[in-house]
Amino acid sequence: MELLECTLSIDDLDSFVADLGEIGERHGTTLQAFDARYVADRRHLERALELADRSIARGENVARDRAVEILLYAAGRRQIDRALEMGVGDGENRAVVLAGAGEEAAALEDVRELEAFVAEEPTLETPDEETLQTFFEIPDRERAATDASLGALVRERVALLEVEK
């Protein structure tokens, strides 16, 4: 798995998603773009990718598309419409683009060539703790009751999706 942390400016979300699909097909990889506010850290996406691939291998996947299955696990939800909140949208986005399998580096290089690509910049250095706590339903009292990091609590929500199936 490789990640591209960047700023995207998306005029037409459907067209951008289609471009990602075409690039992914060309390079034998899956590309998924996330709004960086909803990503706790790199390990969050690594775990989501691992669990999505395991679900697909077992024939237990909810989504037909690997990118959507990865999104579901990253969001810790089985409802696609709720998980889509974690994706990028029209306008300017601080983003993380995941490439999983195949020619990952070449695929991400092609993403850099898209009109929507503005600049490569760190987007995971300072997580948006308020957004993460709200989206993953992690109350302050839970954080106070443990010495686990917010990233660890988010990864726990991702892993719980496996149990809740």
Could you tell me the pLDDT band of residue 162, with boundaries at 50, 70 and 90? low
Q: Where are the domains of the chain?
A: 2-164
Determine the Cα–Cα distance for residues 71 and 155; give it in Å rounded to an integer. Answer: 13
CATH class of 2-164: alpha beta
Mean pLDDT across 124-136: 95
Angle, helices 13-27/66-75, rounded to nearest 10 degrees: 110
Could you tell me the pLDDT band of residue 82, with boundaries at 50, 70 and 90? confident
Q: What is the average pLDDT score of the chain?
A: 94
Q: Is 125 exposed, middle or buried (0-12, 13-18, 19+ CB in 10 A)?
A: exposed
